[in-house]
């Protein structure tokens, strides 16, 4: 790369001897005469440029009978790199014209630009790629070989390459600026933390630190993550400033003379990040996408203060490799390095297993001779591969950006591909007629109509009359007698009358690809390609008419050339497209880092990403995904905007801790006689005033009290009971030594318990998928253990959620549970009305009566509750007294209360935990609001059709989409979801691969995973056995008497047959005579 760049740079000249030597070095195996070019400079000495050397090679490598190619492209080195200083340009002149970053080849001669990685590296549309496209593989191989020889020779004989300290030094002025920015950056910490908590400028450091500490120790890490994000934003600004000050212009030597920069820019080795870390600063160290974590003490490393505001304590390294870094910085740097290594080691097994699963499922998918993609048992998965039948590697030159290249090289391609002979034999009449028919229909029906059928038109006309004649009767199969009569009449109509209705409902003709096979009928292309070709040809015509010299190429010739190119790009029969699709998803998945946390937008919505999400979609096809969400745009009207804010409040979950101000617990001992000893707890709950949460939560103080009385006390007592039972059991264990009998008994018990478990194991396995790889299973087992522990802790949460839904819908039932029927509720209602109408005197007795009722209801709900009072005026507090038996083990009630309050949900919409309103730009470029929810409840959203644009609703839960909208919609969701997972890492996978995988997963009409449960429906027992759990599949196949046709690749390999794919797809007929 370096040699090529410095050789083709302007001002690189060779004498005749040097020129000849380099040419011969490049063309060692050339037979016959070598064409050479005249020198570029005649006087005072004949000199050839480096560009001419490359041109000579090209002209000699291109076969004798072919025309040399034309190419306009870009080099990897951008135009800005060549700017030496402040340019005093002639006004109106263009920097890009004749710039070295623009590569122009005309008739095989390199006229302008340098050749670097973009032209003979592994990049698309470079010199080598274009040669391959026009002349085929042999010529492009030769070009690459000759260039390699030539550049090596140039490096050995004339240039040489070395790198010294000079290349990384920075000018004194830039260095001073660097120090100044570093000094400023040490003060940005407090600002960042204040911004994260929305605190005023006046807040003292102690306050800010206290807030930060609370966020760090709080269970919900959202605020703490905000601090991280703000820090990163601040710090990134400073690193960008330092890089600007030092990087291109602050260096001692500038670009072409600076060998390190030459290496990086030309794409030989290294990246700009490396050069910046050497000469500017290391920047922010990140672990798992965040700053280094804080220990429990609030320090990141022992050498810093707790909750230190300086960016360096959070892993911002201002040192550089040129002048060295501090020990703490070095430690952070090692943490990041270690994480990279561990990540790579762990990642390979995960992505490897994912790839194996996809490959074993898709291995039999092959393109057949009718262009359909079928599995090895002959079932059709796609009628045209990738929905247009094109082979992915050949689609690169069918992009509209590459049309000019094809037009420029028309004569070259015409000669190398013998186009004249081909075009004279083919006829594009059918396809052209079809396209014109579609155009005609579209011109006629410009407004897209809803679908209309002939029977629909008929019933609109006749319905009223039939209704008059047939009077009411009972409904059969959901249809009334009039409808049944109408249906009967339609079936009895003669063909002529039916045709009259059918004619009026003419639908748009099918696309050409669906009617005419693209391999047999010329010019039968996809509609997008056809429209792109039309657009390009109209542009080309406009250009051509404005040019002085008319092109010899006619429009029709250019169009048929593009159509010919399309037809030559169709996928060949026998292509193992299933394996290609599997590899195209498996290979990029190895590049995705494992544990990155990605927050969309303002660090609010957490999304599962990377390999875990891919496994969720492809391997597990799980019903309950980790982060389900829905997005739906809001209509652009004032009314909708107003109402949707209320809807957002309604969808947001409210925890008890969010509306509590404080809780007071008083504890006392109560001894009545010798036997009954009790602990008395007086717990007083203070709630926040309504104004505090009115704007964000869909709750009133009354609802909170109601919840406390009907649900919360019960849950609390239930937990206390469980906790004390647990402590009792621990004490029992401590006090008694185990005897031999105990041990025998326990082992016997465990065996007894195991027997029925085995019976359920099969069913359970069908319910929960465990990976078939050792470390996978291990990971899942630990997950399962953790989940069980969580379930133990959070049991009450699920209980109260169930109760919660009832509470939302019918409070009466709740009251009924409290043996108090409907009285309390009614009294409360009456009480509310009286508030408005009567004077204080009249309402006192009633109020007291309702209070007594409520108190007695609470006290009767559980024997341990001995007293209950509440704030009858503002409903802002309530107090409960509990009487619990005295135990040996003491437990802390306040900690139980604390955890319970953080986990208890007072108000929620089923399935939805949080809700956001974000502003987006839609396809037309208009601003619109989008409602995003965490959690899924589609039927709930359907109730708001007047606010939300439900036609554009989207959810990432594939099962929910399949149940609601059908399997075709789910198929599109699978494609989009996989695409989005890769897009986060900047990886693009061709949609043809994704559509094939999605089609295979949904082709049985249900969404099936690519694991051993998806394998059960496979028709080849040998393929099942070579996947996983061989014994189980073998046993099933033997018991069911299944037989294998030996058509799947696995089965063929097992018995040593030729696989039916590639060149093994066809049989040869032997002439026997």
> What's the confidence (pLDDT) of residue 795?
46
Count Cβ atoms within 10 A of the Cβ of residue 748 and give its class: 0-12 exposed, 13-18 middle, 19 or more buried.
exposed
Of the candidates 896, 901, 893, the one whose C-alpha atom is nearest the C-alpha of residue 679 is: 893
DSSP assignment of 909-922 equals BTTEEEEEEEEEE-
In whole angstroms, what separates CA 443 from the centre of its chain? Answer: 39
pLDDT of residue 731: 66
Q: What is the pLDDT of residues 239-252, one digit of tens each?
A: 999 998 888 888 88
Contacts with 187 (C-beta within 8 Å, 6 or more apart), sequence order:
none
Looking at residue 815, its pLDDT comes to 33
What torsion do the CA atoms of 546, 550, 551, 553 make, to the nearest 10 degrees? Answer: 100
Torsion sign over Cα 645, 650, 652, 658: positive
- Across 153-242, where does the E strand assignment appear? none
Best CA proximity match to 990, nearest among 639, 584, 668: 584
DSSP string over 77-112: S-GGGG--SS--PPTT--TTTT-TTEEEEETTEEEE
- The predicted structure's pLDDT at residue 546: 79
The single-letter DSSP state of residue 326 is: -
What pLDDT is stored for residue 733 in this prediction? 61
Instruction: Evaluate whether 138 touches 413 at the Cβ level (below 8 Å).
Output: no
pLDDT at 791: 54
Are the beta carbons of 800 and 904 closer than 8 angstroms? yes
784 to each of 177, 755, 781, how far by Cα in Å? 55, 21, 5
State how far the Cα of 309 lies from the Cα of 208, in Å rounded to an integer.
10
Helical H segments across 474-524, by residue range: 481-492, 495-504, 512-515
Q: What residue ranges in 586-692 does DSSP mark as E strands?
A: 598-600, 605-607, 629-633, 654-655, 660-672, 676-687
**Strand 283-284 with 316-317, pairing:** antiparallel
Residue 104 in tokens? 């122009």
Tell me the CA end-to-end span of the chain in Å, nearest whole number: 60
Residue in 848, 867, 818, 860 with CA at minimum distance from that of residue 683: 867
Burial of 779 (0-12, 13-18, 19+ CB in 10 A): middle
Q: Is the dihedral of CA 706, 709, 714, 719 positive or negative?
A: positive
Tokens of 503: 């004619």
Give the separation between CA 59 and CA 107, rounded to whole angstroms: 9
Q: Which residues does 109 contact at the CB level (< 8 Å), separation at least 6?
A: 37, 52, 55, 58, 59, 68
DSSP annotation of 631 reads E
Count CB atoms within 10 A of the CB of residue 667. Answer: 13
Say what the pLDDT of residue 1057 is.
Answer: 93
Alpha-carbon span 496 to 454, nearest angstrom = 13
What distance in Å separates the CA atoms of residue 229 and residue 756, rounded to the nearest whole number? Answer: 52
Annotate 918-937 with DSSP letters as a single string.
Answer: EEEE-TTS-EEEEEEEEE--
Question: CB-based contacts of 876: which residues, under 8 Å, 6+ apart?
Answer: 686, 687, 689, 701
Q: Which residues of the chain have pLDDT under 70?
A: 85-96, 448-451, 472-473, 476-478, 506, 550, 593-605, 731-845
* Contact in structure between 8 and 14 (CB atoms under 8 Å): no
- 652-677 per-position pLDDT tens digit: 888 888 888 888 888 888 887 777 78
Length of the chain measured in residues: 1073
Beta-carbon contacts of 567 under 8 Å, excluding residues fewer than 6 positions away, are 518, 519, 522
Give every CB contact of residue 576 below 8 A, 6+ residues apart in sequence.
Answer: 363, 365, 366, 1061, 1062
Burial of 409 (0-12, 13-18, 19+ CB in 10 A): buried
CA distances from 66 to 423, 424, 603, 1004 (A): 19, 21, 59, 52
pLDDT at 782: 56
CA-based nearest residue to 150, from 12, 47, 349 = 12
Residues 6+ apart with CB under 8 A from 700: 690
DSSP, collapsed to helix, strand or coil, labels residue 31 as: coil
d(CA 361, CA 1011): 8
pLDDT tens digit sequence for 669-717: 888 777 778 888 888 888 888 888 888 888 888 888 888 888 888 888 8
CA–CA separation, 10 vs 25, rounded Å?
22
- Asked: is 2-82+98-159 a CATH 3.40.50.300 domain? The reply is no
In contact, 47 and 112? CB cutoff 8 Å: no
By DSSP bridging, strand 877-885 and strand 927-935 are unpaired
State residue 142 phi and psi, 5-degree precision.
Answer: -65, -40
Q: For all residues of the chain together, what is the average pLDDT? A: 83
Query: What is this structure's pTM?
Result: 0.81
Give, in order, the Cα–Cα distances in Å from 137 to each of 141, 204, 441, 713: 6, 71, 44, 79
The residue ranges of every structural domain in the chain are 2-82+98-159, 169-325, 390-431+511-547+555-570, 454-468+479-504, 593-653+911-1017, 655-733+799-907
The answer to whether the Cα torsion of 825, 827, 833, 839 is positive or negative is: negative
Q: Which CATH number fits domain 169-325: 3.40.640.10, 3.60.20.10, 3.30.70.60, 1.10.132.30?
A: 1.10.132.30
Tell me the sheet residues that pair with 47: 41
d(CA 1002, CA 621): 11
- Of 935, 895, 893, nearest to 914 by C-alpha is 935
DSSP 8-state assignment for residue 710: I
* 3.40.50.300, 3.30.70.2850, 3.20.20.70, 1.10.760.10: CATH of 655-733+799-907: 3.30.70.2850
C-alpha angle 703-704-707 in degrees, rounded to nearest 5: 85
**DSSP characters over 350-384:** HHHHHHHHHHHHHTT-EE-TTS-EE-TTS-EEESS
Is residue 195 within 8 A of residue 227, CB to CB? The reply is: no
Count CB-CB contacts under 10 A for residue 588: 17
CA atoms 156, 159, 164, 170: torsion sign: negative
Measured CA to CA, the distance from residue 278 to residue 414 in angstroms comes to: 52
For residue 26, give both structure tokens. Answer: 């490049």
């Amino acid at each position: 790369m370096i040699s090529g760049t410095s050789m083709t740079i302007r001002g690189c000249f060779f004498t005749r001897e040097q020129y000849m030597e380099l040419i011969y070095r490049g063309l060692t195996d050339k037979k016959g005469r070598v064409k050479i070019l005249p020198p570029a400079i005649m006087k005072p000495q004949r000199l050839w440029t480096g560009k001419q050397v490359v041109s000579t090679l090209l002209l000699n490598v291109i076969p004798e009978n072919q025309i040399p190619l034309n190419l306009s492209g870009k080099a990897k080195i951008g135009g800005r790199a060549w700017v030496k200083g402040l340019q005093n340009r002639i006004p109106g002149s263009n920097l890009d014209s004749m710039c070295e970053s623009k590569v122009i080849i005309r008739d095989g001669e390199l006229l302008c630009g340098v050749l670097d990685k973009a032209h003979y590296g592994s990049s698309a549309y470079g010199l080598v790629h274009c040669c391959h496209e026009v002349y085929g593989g042999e010529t492009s191989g030769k070009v690459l070989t000759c260039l390699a020889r030539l550049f090596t020779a140039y490096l050995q004989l004339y240039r040489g390459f070395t790198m010294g300290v000079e290349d990384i030094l920075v000018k004194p002025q830039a260095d001073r600026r660097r120090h100044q920015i570093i000094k400023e950056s040490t003060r940005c910490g407090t600002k960042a933390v204040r911004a994260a908590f929305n605190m005023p400028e006046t807040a003292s450091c102690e306050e800010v630190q206290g807030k930060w500490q609370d966020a760090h120790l709080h269970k919900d890490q959202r605020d703490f993550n905000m601090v991280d994000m703000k820090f990163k934003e601040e710090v990134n600004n400073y690193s960008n400033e330092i890089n600007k000050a030092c990087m291109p212009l602050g260096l001692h030597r500038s670009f072409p003379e600076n060998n390190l920069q030459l290496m990086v820019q030309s794409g030989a080795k290294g990246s700009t990040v490396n050069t910046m870390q050497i000469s500017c600063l290391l920047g922010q160290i990140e672990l798992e996408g965040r700053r280094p974590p804080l220990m429990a003490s609030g320090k990141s490393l022992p050498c810093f203060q707790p909750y230190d505001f300086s960016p360096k304590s959070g892993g911002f390294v201002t040192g550089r490799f040129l002048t060295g870094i501090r020990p703490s910085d070095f430690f952070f740097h090692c943490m990041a390095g270690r994480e990279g290594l561990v990540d790579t080691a762990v990642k390979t097994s995960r992505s490897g297993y994912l790839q194996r699963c996809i490959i074993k499922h898709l291995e039999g998918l092959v393109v057949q001779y009718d262009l359909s993609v079928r599995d090895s048992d002959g079932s059709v998965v796609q009628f045209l591969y990738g929905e247009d039948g094109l082979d992915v590697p050949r689609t690169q030159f069918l992009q509209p950006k590459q049309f000019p290249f094809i037009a420029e090289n028309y004569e070259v391609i015409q000669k190398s591909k013998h186009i004249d002979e081909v075009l004279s034999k083919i006829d594009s009449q059918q396809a052209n007629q079809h396209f014109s028919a579609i155009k005609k229909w579209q011109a006629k029906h410009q407004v897209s109509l809803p679908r209309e059928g002939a029977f629909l038109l008929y019933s609109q006309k006749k319905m009223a009359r039939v209704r008059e004649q047939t009077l009411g009767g009972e409904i059969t199969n959901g249809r009334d007698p009039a409808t049944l009569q109408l249906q009967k009449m339609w079936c009895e109509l003669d063909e002529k009358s039916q045709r009259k209705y059918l004619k009026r409902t003419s639908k748009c003709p099918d696309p050409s690809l669906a009617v005419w096979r693209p391999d047999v009928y010329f010019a039968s292309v996809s509609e997008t390609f056809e429209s792109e070709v039309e657009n390009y040809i109209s542009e080309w015509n406009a250009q051509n008419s404005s040019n002085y010299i008319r092109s010899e190429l006619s429009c029709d010739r250019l169009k048929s050339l593009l159509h010919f190119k399309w037809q030559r790009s169709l996928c060949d029969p026998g292509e193992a497209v299933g394996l290609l699709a599997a590899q195209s998803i498996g290979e990029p998945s190895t590049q995705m880092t494992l544990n990155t946390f990605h927050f969309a937008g303002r660090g609010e919505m957490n999304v599962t990403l990377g390999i875990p999400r891919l496994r969720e979609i492809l391997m597990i096809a799980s019903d309950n995904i980790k982060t389900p969400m829905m997005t739906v745009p809001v209509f652009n009207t004032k009314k909708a905007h107003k109402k949707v804010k209320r809807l957002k409040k309604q969808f947001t979950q409210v925890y008890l801790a969010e509306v509590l101000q404080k809780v007071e617990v008083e504890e006392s001992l109560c001894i009545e006689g010798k036997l009954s000893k009790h602990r008395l707890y007086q717990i007083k709950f203070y709630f926040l005033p309504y104004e505090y949460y009115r704007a964000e939560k869909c709750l009133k103080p009354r609802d909170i009290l109601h919840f406390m009385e009907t649900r919360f006390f019960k849950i609390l007592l239930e937990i206390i009971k469980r906790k004390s039972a647990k402590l009792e059991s621990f004490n029992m264990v401590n006090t008694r030594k185990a005897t031999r009998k105990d041990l025998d008994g326990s082992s016997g018990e465990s065996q007894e318990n195991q027997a029925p478990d085995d019976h359920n194991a099969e069913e359970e396995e069908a319910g929960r998928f465990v990976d078939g790889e050792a470390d996978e299973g291990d990971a899942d087992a630990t997950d399962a253990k953790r989940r069980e522990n969580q379930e133990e802790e959070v049991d009450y949460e699920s209980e109260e959620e169930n109760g919660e839904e009832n509470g939302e819908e019918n409070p009466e039932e709740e009251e009924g549970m409290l043996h108090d029927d409907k009285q309390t509720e009614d009294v409360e209602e009456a009480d509310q009305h009286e508030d408005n109408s009567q004077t204080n005197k009249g309402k006192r007795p009633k109020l007291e009566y309702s209070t007594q009722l409520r108190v007695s209801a609470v006290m009767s709900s559980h024997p341990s509750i001995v007293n209950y009072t509440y704030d009858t005026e503002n409903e802002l507090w309530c107090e409960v007294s509990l009487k619990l038996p005295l135990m040996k083990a003491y437990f802390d009630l306040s900690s139980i209360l604390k955890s319970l309050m953080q986990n208890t949900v007072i108000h929620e919409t089923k399935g939805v935990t949080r809700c956001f309103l974000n502003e987006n730009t839609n396809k037309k470029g208009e601003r619109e609001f989008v409602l995003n929810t965490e959690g899924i409840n589609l039927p709930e959203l359907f109730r708001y059709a007047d606010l939300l644009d439900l036609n554009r609703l989207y959810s990432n839960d594939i099962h929910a989409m399949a149940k609601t909208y059908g399997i075709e919609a789910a198929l599109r969701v699978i494609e989009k979801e996989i695409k989005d997972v890769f897009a986060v890492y900047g990886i693009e996978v061709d949609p043809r691969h994704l559509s094939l995988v999605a089609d295979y997963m949904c082709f049985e009409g249900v969404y099936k995973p690519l694991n051993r449960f998806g394998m059960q429906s496979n028709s080849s027992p040998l393929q099942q056995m070579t996947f996983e759990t061989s014994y189980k599949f073998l046993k099933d196949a033997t018991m069911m008497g299944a037989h294998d046709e030996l058509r799947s690749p696995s089965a063929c390999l097992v018995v040593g047959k030729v696989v039916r794919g590639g060149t093994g797809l066809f049989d040869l007929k032997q002439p026997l005579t």
